[in-house]
Amino acid sequence: MSSDAQWPPLSPYSTGVRGRCPRCGQGHLFNGFLTLRQKCEVCGLDYSFADPADGPAFFVMCFACVPSVALAVWIEVAFQPPFWVHLLTSLPFMLLTCIPPLRPLKGWLVASQYFYKAEQGRIDREHGRHPV
């Protein structure tokens, strides 16, 4: 595995959204739809640093699910259609706006963690500093 100094910094947006390695931009980030690989097959970057947690789901809920549900409620209140109309309109719209953005958002968050060298916060006990 080579050091990070050999690789030029790549934009988290350009690598993450495409599901590419945040260091080399060539290797794949995902093993399945949302499962991260162990490491990059091109440069060998270990992806164990990555922990996007619930970030992608949170962003999708805020920016896709809420408007999708609002549309379904509007259709119900304005037209009072039978249930099957929601199955043909609201359900596909919700699925199409909520599932596809998960992978690009997760890739972007993982690439951003690498680019900005994000890591877990630590208390500096040596200098007696404690979080407020």
DSSP letter string over 68-85?
HHHHHHHHHHHH---HHH
Asked whether residue 120 is assigned to any structural domain, the reply reads no
Number of domains present in the structure of the chain: 1
Burial grade of 9 (CB within 10 A; 0-12, 13-18, 19 or more): exposed
Segment 8-32 shows an average pLDDT of 96
Query: Within a domain: residue 128?
Result: no
Rounded to whole angstroms, the Cα distance separating 69 from 122 reads: 40
Indicate whether 51 belongs to any domain. yes
The verdict on residue 131 lying in a domain is: no
CA distance 22 to 111: 5
Residue 86 lies in a domain: yes
The range of the structural domain enclosing residue 38 comes to 4-115
3 state DSSP class of 43: coil
In Å, how far are 54, 98, 107, 110 from 67, measured between CA atoms? Answer: 20, 10, 23, 26
Count of all residues that appear for the chain in the document: 132
Nearest by Cα to 10 from 26, 22, 27: 22
pLDDT in tens, 99-127: 999 999 999 999 999 999 998 888 877 76
Mean of the pLDDT values across residues 45-66? 93
> Quick check: is 122 in a domain?
no
- Whether residue 121 lies inside any domain: the answer is no
pLDDT of residue 76 exceeding 70, the answer is yes
Q: What's 41's DSSP letter?
A: T
Q: Is residue 126 part of a domain?
A: no
Winning range, highest mean pLDDT, from 3-12, 17-26, 121-130 = 17-26
Nearest alpha carbon to residue 55 among 83, 40, 39, 34: 34
